[in-house]
């Protein structure tokens, strides 16, 4: 097992449903902070539990294993082996307890599979003129409603023992393009962008991680997207928003960014991210990134510990049947 100290400031993807010999050797030689799993890594429940156990056998019991499990369109655990969960927009104007219950149910499913970091909730605004990549993944166009439901989602995941990841800070809601495919450029004013930041600011101190947006904001930094911008990270994310938690990039392989992933990792960490995401699972590319990626800084270790402790503190004894009843009743009231 790799020692707890001395990790590369990266969270990486894997190629398939089992940990290959070359991947295992890479994890031992250049250990990342954690692993993120996708549909290509997930077959049946027994297989997934075996995979997460194998990862932790090498990297350690406290190694974060991430998954995108928002509900709706974005869900890696799917039927028939796992239940379907509604999209965030389903809870708009409904009772907060329903959102909390739904997130707790998601967290319980993830924890049972060895997945302890859930990349949710989305705190972006659901603006009608924007690209549909966010759409019903967001709770509302109203920052107050996003904050109300986002807080409950966050706390529900923590109640299940998971670490939440709020995204996409400082806000993806105005983007007119999909950052998976190209770099969105947002020309909104500082005042408009400040409104988008409100949910992130309100929930900044609750112990979640945060994921950056691959977006260029003219009013914040007209030259670099947020993920690579020291201005945006220092002045906006750490400054105006007040987020002092563990900050990760969105996937460096997305087409919004150009350049080699290894170079992008160094640039993102130099700009102020604690760690980067690299999700392709392509071993040569991943090994090259890990070889030159900086080691996790002491500040990152501290922030990881704070998030882990917040989830331990808020973990609760949950009754899945009661949670499901509470969720479903709330959805009826929200409809």
Tell me if residue 214 is catalytic.
no
Give one DSSP letter per residue of 155-208, joined into a string.
HHHHHTTPEEEEEEET--TT-SS-TTTS--EE---HHHHHHHHHHHHHTTTSS-
Which candidate, 284, 159, 148, 251, places its Cα nearest to that of 203? 148
Count CB atoms within 10 A of the CB of residue 323.
22
How far, CA to CA in Å, does 184 sit from each of 121, 177, 214, 230, 231? 21, 5, 8, 18, 18
Q: What is the rounded CA–CA span in Å between residue 147 and residue 124?
A: 10
Kind and range of the H or E run holding 156? helix 143-159
**Of 250, 251, 274, 278, catalytic:** 250
Q: CA 100 to CA 290: how far, in whole Å?
A: 37
Q: Other C-beta atoms within 10 Å of 98: how many?
A: 25
Q: Is 68 a catalytic residue?
A: no
**Range 275-306 burial, b when 16+ CB lie within 10 A, else e:** bbbbbbbebebbbbbbeebbebeeebbebbee
How far is residue 316's CA from residue 325's CA, in Å, rounded to a whole number? 17
Question: Quick check: helix, strand or coil at residue 109?
Answer: helix
User: Which residue in the block uniquely carries the two structure tokens 């960490």?
Assistant: 269
Round to whole Å and give the CA distance between 138 and 129: 14
- The active-site residue, picked from 18, 180, 319, 328, is 180
CA-CA distance, 9 to 119, in Å (whole number)? 18
SS3 per residue for 115-155: CCEECCCECCCCCCCCCCCCHHHCCCCCHHHHHHHHHHHHH
Distance CA 231, CA 236 (A): 7
CB 221 within 8 A of CB 232: yes
Catalytic amino acids? 180, 250
């Amino acid at each position: 097992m790799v020692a707890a100290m001395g990790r590369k400031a990266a969270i990486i993807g894997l190629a398939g449903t089992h940990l290959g010999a070359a991947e295992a050797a890479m994890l031992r030689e250049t250990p990342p902070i954690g692993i993120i799993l996708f549909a290509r890594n997930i077959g049946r429940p027994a297989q997934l539990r075996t995979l997460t156990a194998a990862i932790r056998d090498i990297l350690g019991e406290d190694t974060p294993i991430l998954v995108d499990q928002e509900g709706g369109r974005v869900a890696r655990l799917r039927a028939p082996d796992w239940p379907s969960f509604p999209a965030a927009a389903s809870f708009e104007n409904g009772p907060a307890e329903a959102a909390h219950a739904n997130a707790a149910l998601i967290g319980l499913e993830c924890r049972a599979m060895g997945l302890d970091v859930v990349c949710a909730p989305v705190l972006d605004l659901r603006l009608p003129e924007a690209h549909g990549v966010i759409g019903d993944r967001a709770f509302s166009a109203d920052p107050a409603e996003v904050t109300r439901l986002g807080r409950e989602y966050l706390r529900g995941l923590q109640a299940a023992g998971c670490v939440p990841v709020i995204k996409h800070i400082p806000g993806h809601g105005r983007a007119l393009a999909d950052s998976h495919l190209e770099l969105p450029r947002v020309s909104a004013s500082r005042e408009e962008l400040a409104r988008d930041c409100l949910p992130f600011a309100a929930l900044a101190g609750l112990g979640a991680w945060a994921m950056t947006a691959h977006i260029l904001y003219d009013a914040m930094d007209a030259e670099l997207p947020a993920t690579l911008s020291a201005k945006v990270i220092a002045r906006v994310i750490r400054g105006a928003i007040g987020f002092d938690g563990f900050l990760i990039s969105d996937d460096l392989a997305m087409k919004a960014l150009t350049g080699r992933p290894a170079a992008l990792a160094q640039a993102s960490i130099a700009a102020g991210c604690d760690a980067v995401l690299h999700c392709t699972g392509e071993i040569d590319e991943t090994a090259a990134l890990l070889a030159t990626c900086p080691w996790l800084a002491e500040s990152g270790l501290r922030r990881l510990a704070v998030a882990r402790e917040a989830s331990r503190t808020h973990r609760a004894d949950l009754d899945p049947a009661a949670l499901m009843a509470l969720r479903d009743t709330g959805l009826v009231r929200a409809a």
